[in-house]
Structure 1
């Protein structure tokens, strides 16, 4: 991620997260981000750790990818279960016109029962946006035209 900081702190034995640099630049991105991405990134609770609409601590539940033919892009979605101590609803993110989707796994952290969101960042990218989500042991990167984020009950929660 370019502005959002997520680092393992050996002394703390946990992750340090900081979105202040991203929040400072976000107003400058207003005209460069599509409407869905801007609405999601600038939601008042998005980076407020005490908010039910903060992405931190959501648990990855499902990844749905389209089957596409060469040269065509499709729609993908991510479902996140709520953290039982923090969220009253889960989050579904749908990505329109996906041109790149990757999950890069890091070394497994065996003390977590679920793969949870540490923080994310949405930035302008050729043809739309790049959405990067840092998880406890992986990073999801999506390049797409725009996204739609919906807080709702997620199946299996």
Structure 2
């Protein structure tokens, strides 16, 4: 990620997590984000670690990669029982690339959980990068829609 810090620190051992630089840049960046991505990235609870609607600690539940051209891609996150009241579904529109790279550095977690994410504008939409405990998800798309609930 360009601004968000979500790095494994073996000295802790744990993650060094800091969205501060991204939040400083977000006002400027959000002007160029598509509307759905802007709404999600600038939500006051998105990086509020005490909020039930913070993305941190959500658990990866499902990735739907379409085979048809008219379908959208989606990622569903289950709530963390200790923090969230509901899960999150992100639907990506106009996906031009998707990758999920596994790191397998940490072997003590039962589920892939969100460390943090970052949405950066591009000429044709945005790039959404999600740091998970053992993987990184990268989606380039024209826009996204995030929906909290059971969905």
TM (norm. structure 2) is 0.96
* Corresponding residue of 2:108: 111
56-65 or 1-10: bigger deviation: 1-10
> Where does structure 1 lack aligned partners over 5 or more consecutive residues?
none
Asked if the contact 1:40–1:46 (Cα under 8 Å) also holds between the matched residues in 2, the reply is yes
Distance 1:10 1:102 in 2: 26
* Corresponding residue of 1:19: 19
Asked if the contact 1:116–1:136 (Cα under 8 Å) also holds between the matched residues in 2, the reply is yes
Distance 1:49 1:61 in 2: 20
* Corresponding residue of 1:98: 95
Cα deviation digits, residues 21-70 of structure 1 (max 9, x gap): 000000002220011001100111100110001000000000001114xx
Distance 2:30 2:112 in 1: 31
Distance 1:89 1:13, change over 3 A: same
SS of residue in 2 equivalent to 1:113: coil
Distance 1:113 1:17 in 2: 20
> Where does structure 2 lack aligned partners over 5 or more consecutive residues?
none
SS of residue in 2 equivalent to 1:22: helix
Distance 2:43 2:110 in 1: 28
What RMSD, in angstroms, separates the aligned Cα atoms of the two structures? 1.2
Asked if the contact 1:73–1:99 (Cα under 8 Å) also holds between the matched residues in 2, the reply is no
TM (norm. structure 1) is 0.92
Moved over 6 A (4+): none
* Corresponding residue of 2:134: 137
SS of residue in 2 equivalent to 1:55: coil
Aligned residues: 151
Task: Confirm whether residue 125 of structure 1 aligns to residue 109 of structure 2.
Answer: no
Deviation at 1:75, TM superposition (A): 1.2
